[in-house]
Amino acid sequence: MIDVDQMAMVLDALPDPAFILSRSGKYVAVFGGRDKRYYHDGSGLVGLYISDLIKPAKANWFIEQIGRALDSKKLHIEEYELSNSDVKGLPDDGPEKPIWFEGRIQPLSFSANEEDLVLWVASNISDRHEMEIRLRELGNTDQLTGLFNRRKMEHDLTLHYESYVRYSVPACILMFDLDNLKAINDSKGHHVGDEAIQAVANICRSALRKTDCACRFGGDEFVVALPNTEYTQAIQFAERIQDLLRKELSQFSVDGAVVTASMGVTTMAPEDRSYEDALKRADHALYEAKNGGKDRIVSA
- Between helix 190-207 and helix 231-249 the angle, nearest 10°, is 140
- Quick one: average pLDDT of 217-222? 91
Strands annotated E in the chain? 17-22, 27-32, 76-82, 99-112, 115-124, 171-179, 213-218, 221-227, 253-254, 257-258, 260-267, 297-299
Domain boundaries in the chain?
A: 4-132, 140-299
Q: Reduce the DSSP state of residue 195 to 3 states and report it.
A: helix
> Is the pLDDT reported for residue 94 higher than 50?
no
Classify domain 140-299 at the CATH topology level: Alpha-Beta Plaits (3.30.70)
122-131, 143-152, 219-228 — most confident range: 219-228
Q: Cα–Cα distance between 173 and 294 in angstroms, integer?
A: 19
| 113 DSSP assignment | T
Q: What is the pTM of this model?
A: 0.60
CATH topology of domain 4-132: Beta-Lactamase (3.30.450)
Task: Indicate the range of 8-22, 121-135, 279-293 predicted with least confidence.
Answer: 121-135
In sequence order, the β-bridge partners of residue 120 are: 19, 105
Percentage of residues in the chain having pLDDT higher than 90: 66
140-299 shares the fold of 4-132 = no
